[in-house]
Copies of this chain bind each other. A is one copy, B any other.
Amino acid sequence: MKRIDLPIGVFDSGVGGLTVLDAIRRRLPAEDLLYLGDTARVPYGTRAPDTVVRYAHRVAGHLVRRGVKAIVIACNTATTWALDALEQAAAPLSIPVIGVIAPGVDAALARTRSGRIAVIGTEGTVRGGAYTRHLQAGRPDVKVEAVPCPLFVALAEEGWTDGDIARLTAERYLSPLRTAVPAADTLILGCTHYPLLANVIADVLPGVALVDSATATADATASRLAAEGLLRNAGHPGTSAFLVTDHVDRFQRVGARFLRKPPTPVELVDLTDADDAALPVPLEASA
């Protein structure tokens, strides 16, 4: 198969990355997409950084073994800790690797006028500080307020994305942002689950521009593939296929909340040493 005809690989620790897959599907309808949810090891957010790097190598290696022309890390934790290592490992194979953080950061910096940007994410993402570092690297005078919103993941997976409970939860997490001076005018949804709650978040913060990192990542993926000459001819009807490392039933049931229909076909896979070998950790990264 010609390289241009290979699918784009997309991976996450679970279902959250389906928002990224969905955004890529809409942005690039001609592309085949191969999603891997590492549901046996979810969540990555509470793991030690070197553990996340090891998991990400194995998952990305599995995608490489199946044959992909690009890899999208649809997971904030894996992007934080493993993007550099995966880029180094995939470079000799000429496989571009795209994370979810830089696209959201770039979109937020392009939009803000007040220079104050809010970021919401899991406890792990906020503690890791990657958004703050990247925003301030791009524009040193920007003020960043990072707020962990751990209940949002459970609400999204439960499908409780509107109604009283979602609204009150958003109010409780986000109302302090309204009183900051100067107020944030831009908010990054720094967790792949959060686009499901975009409506209630927008209601709580009127006038604040929401940056959906899933959409920003889909745009970045399109640009990168175009630059590398890897975009398919628009005539091809793109397909999606799904791999998980555990719990096929739950992935289909909860995934339906992210894609508006159950993800299908889903295949259960075991990751093996051969997957590690497909994309070995470069010596300089493992030192």
A residues neighboring B (CB under 8 Å): 39-40, 42, 46-48, 51, 123, 150-151, 153-155, 157-158, 160, 164-165, 168-169, 172, 246-247, 250
In whole angstroms, how far apart are the Cα atoms of A160 and B46 in the complex? 21
- Give the Cβ gap from A194 to chain B, nearest Cβ, in Å: 14
Residues of B within 8 A of A48 (CB): 40, 246
**Choice from B51, B158, B172 contacting A151 with Cβ under 8 Å:** B158
Residue of B nearest to A173 (CB): B158
In whole angstroms, how far apart are the Cα atoms of A149 and B99 in the complex? 33
**Choice from B39, B154, B168 contacting A168 with Cβ under 8 Å:** B168
Contact between B157 and A250, CB atoms less than 8 A apart: no
Residues of B within 8 A of A150 (CB): 154, 157-158
- Give the Cβ gap from A122 to chain B, nearest Cβ, in Å: 11
Contacts A48-B246, A160-B172, A164-B164 known; 4 new A-B pairs at CB < 8 A: A39-B46, A151-B154, A153-B154, A154-B154
In whole angstroms, how far apart are the Cα atoms of A247 and B123 in the complex? 12
Candidate in A42, A157, A165 with the most chain B CB atoms within 10 angstroms: A165
In whole angstroms, how far apart are the Cα atoms of A123 and B249 in the complex? 12
Counting every copy of the chain, the complex holds 2
A-B contact pairs, 16 of them (CB 8 A): A40-B46, A40-B47, A40-B48, A40-B51, A46-B246, A48-B246, A150-B157, A150-B158, A151-B155, A151-B158, A151-B160, A154-B154, A160-B172, A164-B164, A165-B168, A165-B172
In whole angstroms, how far apart are the Cα atoms of A155 and B165 in the complex? 12
When A and B form their complex, which 7 residue pairs have the shortest distance between CB atoms, in order from nearest? A154-B154, A151-B154, A165-B168, A164-B168, A165-B169, A150-B154, A42-B46
Contact between A247 and B151, CB atoms less than 8 A apart: no
Residues of B within 8 A of A172 (CB): 160, 165
In whole angstroms, how far apart are the Cα atoms of A214 and B266 in the complex? 39
Residue of B nearest to A164 (CB): B168
Residues of B within 8 A of A164 (CB): 164, 168
**Choice from B123, B153, B165 contacting A165 with Cβ under 8 Å:** B165
In whole angstroms, how far apart are the Cα atoms of A233 and B143 in the complex? 59
Residues of B within 8 A of A154 (CB): 150-151, 153-154
- Give the Cβ gap from A152 to chain B, nearest Cβ, in Å: 9
Contact between A247 and B46, CB atoms less than 8 A apart: yes
Residues of B within 8 A of A155 (CB): 151
